[in-house]
Chain A
Amino acid sequence: MPSVRLVDILKRFGAITAINRLSMEIVDGEYVCLLGPTGSGKTTLLKLIAGLTIPDEGEIYIDDKLANKIPAEERGAVYVPQQYALFPHLTVLENVAFGPLARGVNEEEALRTGREMLEMMRLAHRADSKPDELSGGMQQRVALARGLATEAKLLLLDEPLGALDARLRVELRYKLRRLAEQSGVTTIHVTHDQAEATAIGDRIAVLREGRIRQYATPFHMYMRPQSLFVAHFVGGANFLQAVVAKRHLEESVLELHQGLKIIVGDTTHLSAEEVVVVIREDRVNMAEPTEKVDSDRYNIIGGEIQSARFLGSFVSHQIRLANGDMVTSKMPTQRLEKPLPAGKKVIVYFKPSDTMVYSYPPIGLSRELRVL
C-alpha cells in the first residue's frame, strides 16, 4: 500500500499560483480529505499526485519513489475526476468491469467485482442500463464504482459525492469510508463540504490559496484550529472582537464592545492586545433570564433572540448581546424542541475554557474569514 509525500510543490498557471510551496505526507492506508473553497488548489493538487499535471518545482514521492517523471498510468493510482467520463456505448456493468478486464482478469471475475461495486453503490438494479439512461448522481456513482473496481492501491477522488442529493450523499460517504478501510487502500478525497471531510477523513488538509492552512485529525481541527479561517471553515463558530484588559496567571479578562468583560482561558496574549475570541456555537448555552447559572464557572451575558433556525438534530438561535454583538447558540433538539421566538430576552453563558483567542488578523477579520 502506498504512501504519498509532497515536498515543496509549486505549480503556476500563467500569473496564478495554484499550489504555493506545499509539503505534506499521506501515510500508507490513510484516508485524507483535501478540504477548501473553490479555487483553493485542491483539484490541482490531486492531479499533481495523479500525474495529470506536472509541478513546476518540488518532488512527489509515491511509496518513497520519486514519481515526478513516472507517467500517470504507472503510478498505481486511479483518479476519479469530478467530470466523470463513462463509455457511452457500454452498459453500466461493462463500464465498471472495464478496469479489471483491461488488467487481464478473466471475464467472470471482472464481472463479479463489477457487480459487487455496483451493489455497494446501490446500483445493482441498473447494471444493464446505458450511462445516458441514468441521472447525474447515478453516473457519478458508476464512475466511482469503476474507479474502485480497478483495485488500485491509491484512490484519488475529486468530489466523488458532489453530484448526489444531500441524503444519498450522507449515506454513501460512510460506505465509501468503510470500503476504503476494508480494502486497505490509501485514499485522497477532495471536497468542499466540511461535514463530509469531518465524517470520513482520518486527517483533513485545509487548503486556501494554494497552501495548507492546517493538516490534522478532525478532532484536532475542531478543538485546536490553528487560525481563524480554519475555525470558521471547519465547524463554524462565533467570532467576537476584543482587547485584552488584564492577563492573569491562568486566565485573562477581555473587553468586548462597549466595555463588556468576559473571562477566557487563554494567557498567551498580552494586555492591550487586539484579539478575536472564538466560541463554537454548540458551546454557547442559552437559558431563561431567571435561570440560576453559576457565575464562577460561566461568563453570563444578557441578550435578545433575533431569529431561530431548526436544523434537525440541532436548533440554532441568533442572539443580540447586551453590547450589540451577535452570537449564535446551537442546542441539541433533544434539549429544546421548539425554537424560541424573536424578541425574547435570554441569557447566554459559556465557560472560559470553551473559548479560543487569536490575534486580530492584519488583513481584517472579514477578509480572514472570507471563503471566496
Chain B
Amino acid sequence: MPQVQITGLTKRFGPVIALEDVNLDIRDREYLSIIGPSGCGKSTLIKCIAGIFAPDKGRILVDGQAIENAPIQHRRIGYVFQEIALFPHMKIFENVSYGPRVQGHTRQSAQALVDELLNLIKLSDRADSLPLELSGGAQQKVAVARALASGSALLLLDEPFGALDSKVRADLRYEIRKMTNDLGLTVLHVTHDQEEAMSISDRVVVMKAGKIIEDGTPLQLYLRPKMIFTANFLGEANFLRGTVIQQTSTGVVVQAEDTHLQTIDRTREVGEEVIIAVRPEFVSIARGHGDKNRLRGKVGDVRFMGQIVRYEVEIAEGRTMYVEHPICFGELEIEPLDEVTLGMSPHHTMIYSVPKHGLEKELQLE
C-alpha cells in the first residue's frame, strides 16, 4: 500500500536551484501527474524519488520509511522513462522476467508473474519476440511490465510516451491507466502534455521554477485555477485587463475594453486592477451587435479544426481574442471581416490580480 510523503525536498545543480523546498503527499492508489514547463523541476523530483539523484535536503517517505538515502535497487519502485530501454538482445519474456530473476526467482517461478503482466498489456503472443520487432508503443508497454515485475506497487512514469507518435500516445495512456487501476498501483507521472495529465489523473500538480505552485483535480485546475500561470498552462486563455467597478450579490463587475463583464468572484474590491481570463471555448460569438455585457470585434482568421472552428477576433487595435466554437453546437455563418459580438459566461470567467512582474513574464513557459 504505497503512500509517499515528500517534505522540504531541495536539490541544486551548481548555481541552479532545481527543487526548492518541495512538499507533496501522494495517497495510496492515487494517480498523480506533475506538469510544468521545461526546467520547472518535475523531472528532478521524480528522479529523486527513483534514486537517480540524491536530494540536498528533505525527506522522502514511502509507507513511512525514509528512502532518500537508500540505493536504487533497495527502493522497490518501478521506474519508466522516455527513452525505451529494453535489453535489445533479450526476448520480451526475458526482459520482463529480468527483475525477478535478479531477485533469485527461477525462470519457472517467474513464469506465472510474467505471463500475467504480458497478458495485462495484451502482448502474451509476443513473449518470444525481440524488442525491435515491436512498435515503439508496444515496447514502452513492455518497459512498464518490466518495471512492475519486481513486485513494486509504486510506479514512476517519467515522460513515458514522449518518444511516441501522438495517435499511439493517446491510445497508450488510457491502456496504462486502466492497467495501473486494475493492479491498484500508486502512480506518479511526469509529463509536459496537459491533456494527457488531465485525462488520466486523479490529481494534477503544477510546478514552476522548482516549486509546486498549485494542485487539484483536473476539473478544478482547468475550470477554476487559482494561479494565472495555471490558467494559461493548462489550456489556452484570453486575458483582458480591467478594473473592478461594482460588487453585486453574485460577484464583481469588471470594466474592461469599454464593456462590463460579470464574474462570480466575490473577493475583489472596487477599484482593484485585475486580469480577466477566459478560455476560447467559453467565449460565445455571434454576428452583429449585442447587449452591454459583450465585447465587439472584427473577425480575422477562421480555422476549421475538426470538432471546433477557431475564430480570431480583433477587439481593439492590436488586441485579439480567440474563440473556439464546437461544431456540434451548430455551424455558424461567420466569415473573416464580419463584425461580431463576444459573450462570456460569468461562470467561466476567471479573475486574477495583476502579476507583480507583468503578465507576460508571469506566463512565460521557460
A residues at B contact (CB < 8 Å) = 37-38, 135, 137-138, 165-168, 170-171, 192-195, 198-199, 217-219, 222, 233-235, 280-283, 285, 307, 309-314, 330-334, 337-338, 371-372
Q: Which 10 A-B pairs have the closest CB atoms?
A: A165-B192, A372-B135, A313-B281, A332-B326, A166-B193, A309-B199, A192-B165, A219-B304, A282-B307, A193-B166
CB-CB nearest in chain B for A308: B199
- The distance from the CB of A334 to the nearest CB of chain B, in whole angstroms, is 6
B residues at A contact (CB < 8 Å) = 37-39, 135-137, 165-168, 174, 178, 192-196, 198-200, 218-219, 222-223, 232-236, 279-282, 303-308, 310, 324, 326-329, 348, 365-366
CB-CB nearest in chain A for B324: A313
Decide if B326 touches A233 in the complex (CB within 8 Å): no
CB-CB nearest in chain A for B135: A372
Q: A37-B165, A168-B366, A333-B281 are in contact. Are A312 and B194 (CB under 8 A)?
A: yes
Decide if B195 touches A38 in the complex (CB within 8 Å): no
Q: Which residues of A contact B222 (CB under 8 A)?
A: 310, 312, 333
A353–B80 CA distance with the chains assembled, in angstroms: 45
A311–B219 CA distance with the chains assembled, in angstroms: 9
Decide if B304 touches A170 in the complex (CB within 8 Å): no
A60–B45 CA distance with the chains assembled, in angstroms: 51
CB-CB nearest in chain A for B217: A310
Q: A165-B37, A165-B38 are in contact. Are A195 and B166 (CB under 8 A)?
A: yes
Decide if A192 touches B166 in the complex (CB within 8 Å): yes
- The distance from the CB of B306 to the nearest CB of chain A, in whole angstroms, is 5
Of the listed residues A165, A168, A218, A219, the one surrounded by the most CB atoms of chain B closer than 10 A to its CB is A165
A334–B222 CA distance with the chains assembled, in angstroms: 12
Q: Which residues of B contact A311 (CB under 8 A)?
A: 195, 198-199
Q: Identify which of A138, A199, A233, A283 contacts B366 (C-beta below 8 A).
A: A138
Decide if A218 touches B328 in the complex (CB within 8 Å): no
A309–B200 CA distance with the chains assembled, in angstroms: 7
Q: Which residues of B contact A138 (CB under 8 A)?
A: 366
A310–B222 CA distance with the chains assembled, in angstroms: 10
Decide if A166 touches B194 in the complex (CB within 8 Å): yes
Q: Which residues of A contact B282 (CB under 8 A)?
A: 334
Q: Identify which of A219, A282, A313 contacts B235 (C-beta below 8 A).
A: A313
A7–B280 CA distance with the chains assembled, in angstroms: 42
Q: A135-B39, A137-B366, A192-B165 are in contact. Are A170 and B305 (CB under 8 A)?
A: no
A331–B307 CA distance with the chains assembled, in angstroms: 10
Q: Which residues of A contact B219 (CB under 8 A)?
A: 310, 337-338
A312–B219 CA distance with the chains assembled, in angstroms: 8
List 10 interface pairs A-B (beta carbons < 8 Å), by A numbering.
A37-B168, A170-B236, A199-B305, A218-B304, A235-B307, A283-B328, A310-B219, A312-B198, A332-B329, A372-B135
Of the listed residues A198, A218, A310, the one surrounded by the most CB atoms of chain B closer than 10 A to its CB is A310
Q: A310-B222, A338-B219 are in contact. Are A372 and B136 (CB under 8 A)?
A: yes
CB-CB nearest in chain A for B308: A313
CB-CB nearest in chain B for A232: B167
CB-CB nearest in chain B for A218: B304
Decide if B324 touches A135 in the complex (CB within 8 Å): no
Decide if A198 touches B305 in the complex (CB within 8 Å): yes
- The distance from the CB of B208 to the nearest CB of chain A, in whole angstroms, is 12
A285–B326 CA distance with the chains assembled, in angstroms: 13
Decide if B167 touches A371 in the complex (CB within 8 Å): yes
Decide if A167 touches B166 in the complex (CB within 8 Å): no
Decide if A166 touches B192 in the complex (CB within 8 Å): yes
Q: List 12 additional A-B contacts (Cβ < 8 Å) besides A167-B37, A192-B165.
A: A165-B37, A195-B306, A235-B306, A235-B307, A309-B200, A310-B218, A310-B219, A311-B195, A312-B198, A313-B279, A332-B281, A372-B137
Of the listed residues A199, A283, A309, A312, the one surrounded by the most CB atoms of chain B closer than 10 A to its CB is A312
CB-CB nearest in chain B for A126: B366
Of the listed residues B39, B136, B219, B307, the one surrounded by the most CB atoms of chain A closer than 10 A to its CB is B307
Q: A310-B218, A312-B194, A313-B281 are in contact. Are A195 and B39 (CB under 8 A)?
A: no
Decide if B37 touches A310 in the complex (CB within 8 Å): no
Q: Which residues of A contact B168 (CB under 8 A)?
A: 37, 371-372
